[in-house]
Amino acid sequence: MINLIWAMDQNWLVGDSDKLPWRYKEDLLYFKEKTHNKTVLMGEKTYRSLKDVYYKNKKLPYGKIYVASLNDDLYDDAIKVNDVEEFLKGVKEELWVIGGATIYNLAIPFADKLYITWILKEYKGDIYFPKFDINKDFQLLEEKEGLNKDLKFTVYGRVK
């Protein structure tokens, strides 16, 4: 089961200089609830952002961590993935894809479920989720308004 999870505004904005353009505690708790101690895949920039900005010297709160990277870096707390598509073809366990935009774009064709937090406002930033026709391959399974009316939590499942 391959799950993608992210938050984006009405214009599909997901980031600003490798950081979130917003801060909603309710969304962060939702993300943590879904991904805590789980196997995750992320790109190099997302990994560096989590390590350098959000967690500093703390251990990342995931189980097994895969980092997609084309550079020669090695990671003491993660397994390097050189070919994302080949990796995703072989996934046998539950996997949560947590960013960034390039990794999401590569993972969408393999996704079983999409966990999207819609931010019902517009923000400024420079990183957008890759556009795709969500209604073509996925159907809405769940939708819940957040306690903060700026948030809508949705789950989409792949149409088989």
The answer, yes or no, to whether residue 116 has pLDDT greater than 90, is: yes
CB 151: neighbour CB atoms within 10 A? 20
Architecture of the 2-158 domain: 3-Layer(aba) Sandwich (3.40)
Q: Tell whether the torsion through CA atoms of 20, 26, 30 and 36 is positive or negative.
A: positive
The answer, yes or no, to whether residue 53 has pLDDT greater than 80, is: no
Task: State the Cα–Cα distance between residues 147 and 130, nearest whole angstrom.
Answer: 28
Task: State the Cα–Cα distance between residues 92 and 155, nearest whole angstrom.
Answer: 21
Note the pLDDT tens digit of each residue in 120-157: 999 999 999 988 999 999 999 999 999 989 999 999 99
What is the bridge-based pairing of β-strands 65-68 and 79-81?
parallel
What is the pLDDT at residue 17?
86
pTM: 0.93
Domain range summary for the chain, segments of one domain joined by +: 2-158
> Phi then psi for 82, rounded to 5 degrees?
-90, -35
